[in-house]
Structure 1
Amino acid sequence: MAKRVWDEETAKQRIKSKIGEVQTVTIKEYVRTTDLTGLANGVAYRVDGVHLYIDILNIGDMLNVTAFEGETAHRRTLRFLNLHYRAVRNILKDVEAIEVDFHNQRLHAVFAKPYDDEQARIFKAVATAQLIRDVLTKTGEDGDDPLPAAKTRVGIDSGKALAVNNGRRSSREPLFLGNPANQAAKRAGGTDEGIYMTNVARLTAGWDKVLDVDATALTTTQIEKAQDEAELEVTVDDVVKTWKDELASSPIAKFEFTRHTPPFKTIDLEILTPANSRRQESASIYADIDNFTRYVADRVDDDEDAKDAVRCLHVLRGELDSVLHDDFAGKKIRFIGDCIHGIVVEGTAQTTDDAETAKNALLCAAAMRSSFKLALAELEADGVDVGKLGLAIGLEHGITSITRLGMKGERTRCCISRSVLASEAEQRQCSGRQTGIGPTLYKHAPEAFQTLFGTNRRRSDFDYPTAIEALEPKKEAKTASLGLGLLQTATVASASSDFSFPRTPAQPSRTQQGFS
């Protein structure tokens, strides 16, 4: 099995190369003719729009329908998501919204139209959110193995954000960075159904502020007001009919699973379909750039400051991807805003080596933190304002399914399991200096890492030198002890009490390079 390692000098050269890719950055204003697909790395658009996040709340119930997370639970969950993704995709096209991302159970869309009318955009977003919620209550399935309707929670905010290229290699859809995207995501992050808006958006819509935006859903009267103002041309019945017609003409294939021969670095996500999905035990990693939302919000209005934000994001997430893909043979599923989601596996096509997977996943997380700190230092040395950024990392181990959902020609990646949800939850509980691990990965981790993380399974400043020192604490000590022992023997044998060897190793001892 190949050894997975991180090397500081290699990382430094990668980072310098990425900095060179964005020496020239252009900030443009979003206008009617702007095409946000296929953006170059050095281009960002300042977009004034309304951000909508929709979270399907009962995805966990789908995955936990049985005690064991078997193929049946995964098949039902993936079909559940696929049905809903098809319906939502049609709605967003009909209302001319920008589909940003559909990450498992969470959708992000942006409303840039109507131009020059923020209140109208908010009303349109609210009306669309209610349309989606109404449609998803009708897209369950009856029969021998019925699927439930989706339970949803919506978050909405409005304001300026930066649209940039969201990826490397084959994934280059637009990504929106800034406060409105983050605030909308937070409002969608609760447990109760309904539509939740920030006070910024409420005031623009002409509604009063509320004390607790996360506990105060829009009222029926407010939603009806938005529907009347938006005058959407598409109805629930229209969407459901189109959805049923599509299912009849292009039915969803049965989800069939095979195992991928490790490592995940070699998996081609673009060939996956429901009938050609992967499923095996692996580790899920979420690494989120902490404080990046405020960092962008403080810089979005000034072109020169915004350029630094684009440079910073390009270098940081690019290096995180390189650590995952190049150093530890993992696979990026996608960038979600300023967060990267990846998967790691070790073993054979028949069996996952759980212990080796857990160890290398943690080494990968540690290397990400070391590369992150190195990248910040290199960016600062190049004159880029990096603010006060941190990295929050969460990991968990479990049986995971990987596929693509949607219609042929426009499929979206999906990587789902209890462990995927748990790794994201671990990341969200961490500060910008912390790494958190789930109970299953903790069980499979080396004893040295279990000791390091403790019973709360969380550790601050877990970087690569710290990880290596935990795994090999005696190696340096043994070398020194052996050298001292030989030297002491020679001293005793000496005929002259005035002559002695210095009490130091006979050759330079190995030291760990990296950040403290």
Structure 2
Amino acid sequence: MTKSWKYEQAADHIKKKIKDVETVSIVDYRRDMSLESIPTNKAYRVDGVHLYADILNLSEMLSVTSEEGVTCHRRTLRFLNLHYRAVHRILDRCDARRVDFHNQRLHSVLTKPYNTETDAEAKRVRRSVAMAQLIIDVLQETGDADEKIPAAKVRVGIDTGTALAVNNGRRGGREPLFLGAPANHAAKMSGGGTKPGIFLTNQAREAIGLDSVNKPAVTPLTAAEIEDCEEKAELGVSKEKIVEEWEDDLEANPIGAFDFSRHTPPLRTLDITKLTPGNSRRQEAASAYADIDGFTAFVADHIDEEAEDVVRVFHVIRAELDRVLTCDFDGRRIRFIGDCLHGLLCNGTVQVTDEAETISTATLCAGALRSSFELCLEKLGDEGIDTTGLGLAIGFEFGPMTVTRLGMRGDRVRCSVSRGVLASEQEQTRCSGDETAIGPLAYGAATQAVRDLFGSKRKVSGLDYNEAVEALSEKGDGTAKAVKAAAFAAAAPAIAAASDRIVRPYAESR
């Protein structure tokens, strides 16, 4: 069965999603409000401090063996699981909210103390700094020498301000997702270099009385500045206590070995909620990232006067990108990371992945994602919603991929990590809002038609679905030729009927 994109299906789905958010309500977040199960047409305006913690040596873990085999994946997943379980305890004890734990990157938010308390913002920032240092200190102790698991090297980014909390999930897996500058700026601080430490935006620095700096992403807090925050925050929990509780928990609830099996394609049918360390998946596949370019600036421009439109744009685009990946191309969404979609695609059998077909399908899927994205902007524009400045940056790579869930029973988080996953994200980051990039491994294993399309720079501008199908099929790509033939066969009856309506009257008049 060919996988393809159809304009009519996309337009109909987008129309329905626009209808779902026809009326949107924005509510100021207040004490004791739940951030769980936020309705699609609602958002909370939240004042808080956002903290991103990046584990800098994840790539090192994935490179412990020359070949990306089972051994390196097992060690990497155990590495992440050990550290995640430690950080989970810290967040609980510090009254912070985990927003996401995406491979090497943790996102959490602190909303307490609330703004009804004097100097609330400064107290939240100091508490975040103290918590960040606690994370750094604890993760220095949570390696496993016997399993060749090192301690984590951590870089933390922190920002403060107002963001919109919306729903991020479905079918019992709902959790909040934050749209706005503080979440994005904190992420840029944590991802802005390879030097460990705690990095604050100038807004966060000023909130606790520190001077602004020219380059905050390369200016970590000093030991004295961190110590001052620790003293004033009074977290009430020590590194020693967290490590002790973590060790007790591991003894009572061992992680167990990571055991892998393949999932029979398509990946769309993979039920991630049933995965555990002992029931994980591993196979060759394509990893794709699609990021809404310019969305941070878009939120900043509209959050005060047109916050409802921010929610509308986000939900409509996100739902349509998800539909294209899963319904049109039988892929599996791993998660939304802010305004970015991460998913996997695989063609083949339970025993083996068809490399060339998978990469060609990923190329067509990338084109379809852009076609649907542009159609979303068009339909939202018809409703009078401004989407100026938005684009879609897409990157994908091929290689051995893993899918599992980490953490403790009752609070597991999904995880898909590999060299290819990290590489696909890097490919996406080198794209502007109208570009698509292919990773070097995917490029090398692709058909000549795919390589010709992306060129020596492995990047192409304005690649939509129709262009992808035509460009690949003209160069003999079997996947694209099958898609084009199926589309022609489906359209043949309508074409014949239209031709008959024209020819018959002419014949009768003779």
Give the structure-1-normalised TM-score.
0.90
CA deviations on 1:164-183 (whole Å, 9 max, x unpaired) are 00123443110000001000
Q: Is residue 451 of structure 1 aligned with residue 421 of structure 2?
A: no
Structure 2 match to 1:464: 465
Structure 2 match to 1:138: 141
Query: Does the residue aligned with 2:216 lie in a helix, a strand or coil?
Result: coil
Q: Give the Cα–Cα distance (whole angstroms) in 1 for the partners of residues 475 and 285 of structure 2.
A: 30
Deviation of the 1:507 alpha carbon: 13
Structure 2 match to 1:115: 114
Structure 2 match to 1:234: 237
Q: Give the Cα–Cα distance (whole angstroms) in 1 for the partners of residues 90 and 40 of structure 2.
A: 30
CA deviations on 1:430-453 (whole Å, 9 max, x unpaired) are 100110110111122222221121
Q: Is residue 344 of structure 1 aligned with residue 362 of structure 2?
A: no
Q: Which amino acid in the other structure matches residue 409 of structure 2? A: K
CA deviations on 1:236-276 (whole Å, 9 max, x unpaired) are 01100110011011000100000000010000000000000
Contact 1:4 1:327 in 2 (8 A): yes
Structure 1 match to 2:333: 332
Alignment of 1:216-255 (within 5 A): 216-255=219-258
Q: Give the Cα–Cα distance (whole angstroms) in 1 for the partners of residues 328 and 445 of structure 2.
A: 21
Contact 1:290 1:391 in 2 (8 A): yes
Alignment of 1:190-269 (within 5 A): 190-269=193-272
Contact 2:453 2:472 in 1 (8 A): no
Structure 1 or 2: more helix by fraction: 2
Deviation of the 1:159 alpha carbon: 0.5
Query: Does the residue aligned with 1:14 lie in a helix, a strand or coil?
Result: helix
Structure 2 match to 1:385: 386
Q: Is residue 275 of structure 1 aligned with residue 278 of structure 2?
A: yes
Query: Does the residue aligned with 2:474 lie in a helix, a strand or coil?
Result: coil
Contact 1:263 1:345 in 2 (8 A): yes
Structure 2 CA distance for partners of 1:459 and 1:275, relative to 1, 3 Å: same
Q: More displaced, 379-388 or 326-335?
A: 379-388
Gapped runs of 5+ residues in structure 2?
477-498, 503-510
Alignment of 1:308-387 (within 5 A): 308-387=309-388
Q: Which amino acid in the other structure matches residue 2 of structure 2? A: K
Structure 2 match to 1:398: 399
Structure 1 match to 2:184: 182
Q: Give the Cα–Cα distance (whole angstroms) in 1 for the partners of residues 501 and 136 of structure 2.
A: 70
Deviation of the 1:20 alpha carbon: 0.8
CA deviations on 1:25-51 (whole Å, 9 max, x unpaired) are 110001011100111101100001110
Structure 2 CA distance for partners of 1:507 and 1:356, relative to 1, 3 Å: farther
Aligned residues: percent identity? 55
Query: Does the residue aligned with 1:128 lie in a helix, a strand or coil?
Result: helix
Alignment of 1:278-289 (within 5 A): 278-289=281-292
Q: Which amino acid in the other structure matches residue 99 of structure 1? A: R
Query: Does the residue aligned with 1:157 lie in a helix, a strand or coil?
Result: strand
RMSD between aligned residues: 1.5
Contact 1:308 1:386 in 2 (8 A): no
Which contiguous aligned blocks of 4+ residues in structure 1 show a shift greater than 4 angstroms?
A: 505-508
CA deviations on 1:202-253 (whole Å, 9 max, x unpaired) are 1111001111111111000100010011000111011001100110110001
Deviation of the 1:506 alpha carbon: 13
Structure 2 match to 1:85: 84
Query: Does the residue aligned with 2:155 lie in a helix, a strand or coil?
Result: strand
CA deviations on 1:313-360 (whole Å, 9 max, x unpaired) are 000010000000000000000000000000000000000000110000
Q: Give the Cα–Cα distance (whole angstroms) in 2 for the partners of residues 472 and 422 of structure 1.
A: 27
CA deviations on 1:488-516 (whole Å, 9 max, x unpaired) are xxxxxxxxxxxxxxxxx9999xxxxxxxx
Structure 2 match to 1:165: 167
Q: Which amino acid in the other structure matches residue 342 of structure 1? A: G
Q: Which amino acid in the other structure matches residue 75 of structure 2? A: R
Gapped runs of 5+ residues in structure 1?
476-504, 509-516
Q: Which amino acid in the other structure matches residue 469 of structure 1? A: E
Structure 1 match to 2:150: 148
Q: Give the Cα–Cα distance (whole angstroms) in 2 for the partners of residues 220 and 301 of structure 1.
A: 37
Q: Is residue 300 of structure 1 aligned with residue 299 of structure 2?
A: no
Contact 2:322 2:333 in 1 (8 A): yes
Rg comparison, structure with higher value: 1
Q: Give the Cα–Cα distance (whole angstroms) in 2 for the partners of residues 173 and 437 of structure 1.
A: 31
Contact 1:282 1:357 in 2 (8 A): yes
Q: Which amino acid in the other structure matches residue 159 of structure 2? A: D
Structure 1 match to 2:25: 26
Q: Give the Cα–Cα distance (whole angstroms) in 2 for the partners of residues 175 and 406 of structure 1.
A: 20
Give the structure-2-normalised TM-score.
0.91
Structure 2 CA distance for partners of 1:263 and 1:229, relative to 1, 3 Å: same
Q: Give the Cα–Cα distance (whole angstroms) in 2 for the partners of residues 121 and 43 of structure 1.
A: 25
Q: Which amino acid in the other structure matches residue 221 of structure 1? A: A
Query: Does the residue aligned with 1:406 lie in a helix, a strand or coil?
Result: strand
